[in-house]
């Protein structure tokens, strides 16, 4: 049975009209789900029993089961959720000065095969529905509400490649953004891609305000193809062309994610090449310390070298941050908690 969380408000409205109910019933249901955050149709007390019964017969209103919750010393909360088909997924809540940010998973497993990432240890089983992504935000919000916390920012940076599940990810963004529901500002929502060029071009044509982040991680094809197989399909030149197209169509700042892998992408030459790549763009570079994944054998660049890279970028007028690590004492690397769980290690 389809989940009620899979409907955008516009679809819910159509559903009501097509089945002899009132248009405004859609708004009522939407608000019960995302404002009151009820977990059953029976709690929707201002709609008729007839409509409630019809909803119960045709749709589910089930949330996600929390299998595990790890809380880090720095307050980072990592959730392992169970989906209705038994698959497990992770979501992470991180506290930043500008707000509490949830990192949402978009697929069960991932097929992109980045050689440093824990998510790819388990191949993609399926795409998440938009409702399964929305429910991650809802469940986390419900959990932290009692502490007075509001999830104000979303990054689609959990397991999976969002542009490999394009339609559902965009539907999810519209639902959580809607001001009759969770009302999370479009500019507070970030979609991160490893560089699926067709997805970037399609996204450019949508003219939406969500932020776009690119997992660049290497400034040339030789290194990038080695650590990110997607680069063999869409080499850097094609990626940069698509990004130029995006920037022409949308007057938005981009961000480049750049994880620091010792001896792989952290040389002086790499930084010079990175500076060149940023030149055509209004771009913000996030230098990210690598969270060690035992199975992969990479280590993070040491702090001193990372600071040198950061300073060189700054000196060359590239805006950047050296990101702090979050949740180091828990399984914070993408996909780490899930992959351990699925393989019976916890
Ligand atoms: N597929 C999308 C989103 C998921 S990955 C993408 O590639 O952007 C989210 C981010 O986490 C990416 O930048 C990814 O490269 C990074 N990442 C993966 N494993 C990591 C690790 N062990 N330490 C730090 N960052 C990691």
117 carries an active-site annotation: no
Tens of pLDDT, residues 308-341:
999 999 999 999 999 776 676 766 555 666 666 6
Tell which atom from ligand 1 comes closest to the C-alpha of 159.
4
Q: How would residue 298 be classed by pLDDT, with cut points 50, 70 and 90?
A: very high
With a 6 Å cutoff on the Cβ, whether 318 touches ligand 1 is no
Q: Distance, CA 21 to ligand 1 centroid (Å)?
A: 44
Which residues are paired to 300 by β-bridges? Answer: 261
Q: Closest by alpha carbon to 110, among 64, 154, 162, 183?
A: 162
With a 6 Å cutoff on the Cβ, whether 129 touches ligand 1 is no
What pLDDT score does 334 carry? 57
Q: Distance, CA 114 to ligand 1 centroid (Å)?
A: 9
Share of the chain above pLDDT 70, in %: 93
90 carries an active-site annotation: yes
160: left (phi over 0), alpha (psi -120 to 50) or beta: left
Share of the chain above pLDDT 90, in %: 87
Q: What would the mean pLDDT of 207-214 be, rounded to a whole number?
A: 97
279 has pLDDT over 70: yes
Q: How would residue 137 be classed by pLDDT, with cut points 50, 70 and 90?
A: very high
What pLDDT score does 297 carry? 87
* Distance from C-alpha of 125 to C-alpha of 86, rounded to nearest angstrom: 12
Tens of pLDDT, residues 150-193:
999 999 999 999 999 999 999 999 999 999 999 999 999 999 99
Rounded to two decimals, the pTM is: 0.95
DSSP 70-115: EE-TTS-EEEEEE-TTS-EEEEEEEEETTEEEEEPP-EES-SS--T
Ligand 1 pocket test, pick from 215, 260, 261, 285 with the greatest ligand atom count within 8 Å of Cβ, gives 215
What pLDDT score does 345 carry? 54
* Distance from C-alpha of 324 to C-alpha of 126, rounded to nearest angstrom: 32
From first CA to last CA, the distance across the chain in angstroms is 31
CB 274 within 8 A of CB 313: yes
Tell which atom from ligand 1 comes closest to the C-alpha of 110.
1
Q: Closest by alpha carbon to 215, among 205, 295, 234?
A: 234
- Of 50 and 293, more confident: 50
Q: What would the mean pLDDT of 41-67 be, rounded to a whole number?
A: 98
What pLDDT score does 328 carry? 66
Alpha helices per DSSP H over 148-259: 166-177, 197-206, 221-227, 230-233, 236-249
Nearest CA to ligand 1 atom 18: 117
Q: Which domains does the chain have, with CATH numbers?
A: 4-58 (1.10.150.530), 65-342 (3.20.20.70)
What pLDDT score does 340 carry? 63
Q: Distance, CA 215 to ligand 1 centroid (Å)?
A: 7
Nearest CA to ligand 1 atom 24: 290
What pLDDT score does 292 carry? 86
Ligand 1 pocket test, pick from 103, 115, 117, 191 with the greatest ligand atom count within 8 Å of Cβ, gives 117
Torsion angle (degrees, nearest 10) of CA 328, 120, 254, 155: -60
Q: What is the CA radius of gyration of the chain?
A: 21
What pLDDT score does 304 carry? 94
Q: Indicate which residue of 173, 194, 320, 334 is catalytic.
A: 334
Q: Indicate which residue of 8, 90, 132, 257 is catalytic.
A: 90
Q: What would the mean pLDDT of 214-222 be, rounded to a whole number?
A: 98
């Amino acid at each position: 049975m389809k989940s009620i969380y899979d409907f955008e408000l516009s679809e819910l409205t159509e559903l009501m009209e097509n089945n002899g109910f009132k248009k405004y019933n859609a708004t009522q249901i939407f608000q019960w789900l995302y404002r009151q955050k009820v977990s059953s149709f029976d709690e929707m007390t201002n709609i008729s029993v007839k409509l409630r019964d019809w909803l119960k017969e045709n749709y589910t209103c089930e949330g996600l089961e929390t299998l595990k919750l790890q809380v880090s010393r720095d307050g980072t909360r990592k959730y392992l959720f169970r989906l209705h088909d038994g698959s497990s997924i992770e979501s992470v809540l991180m506290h930043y000065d500008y707000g509490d940010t949830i990192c949402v998973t978009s697929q069960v497993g991932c097929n992109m095969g980045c050689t440093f990432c824990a998510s790819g240890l388990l191949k993609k089983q399926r795409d998440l529905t938009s409702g399964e992504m929305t429910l991650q935000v809802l469940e986390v919000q419900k959990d932290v509400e009692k502490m007075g916390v509001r999830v104000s920012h979303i990054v689609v940076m959990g397991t999976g490649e969002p542009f490999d599940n394009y339609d559902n990810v965009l539907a999810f963004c519209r639902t959580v953004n809607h001001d009759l529901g969770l009302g999370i500002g479009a500019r507070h929502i970030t979609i991160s891609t490893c560089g699926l060029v067709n997805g970037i071009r399609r996204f450019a044509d949508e003219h939406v305000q969500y932020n776009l982040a690119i997992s660049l991680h290497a400034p040339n094809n030789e290194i990038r193809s080695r650590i990110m197989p997607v680069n063999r399909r869409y080499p850097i030149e094609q990626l940069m062309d698509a990004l130029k197209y995006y920037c022409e169509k949308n007057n938005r700042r981009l961000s480049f994610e750049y994880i620091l892998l010792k001896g792989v992408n952290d040389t002086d030459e790499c930084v010079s090449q990175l500076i060149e790549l940023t030149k055509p763009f209004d771009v913000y570079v996030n230098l990210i310390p690598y969270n060690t994944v035992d199975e992969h054998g990479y280590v993070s660049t040491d702090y001193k070298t990372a600071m040198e890279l950061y300073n060189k970028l700054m000196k060359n007028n590239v805006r950047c941050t050296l990101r702090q690590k979050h949740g180091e004492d828990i399984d914070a690397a993408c996909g780490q908690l899930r992959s351990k769980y699925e393989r019976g290690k916890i």
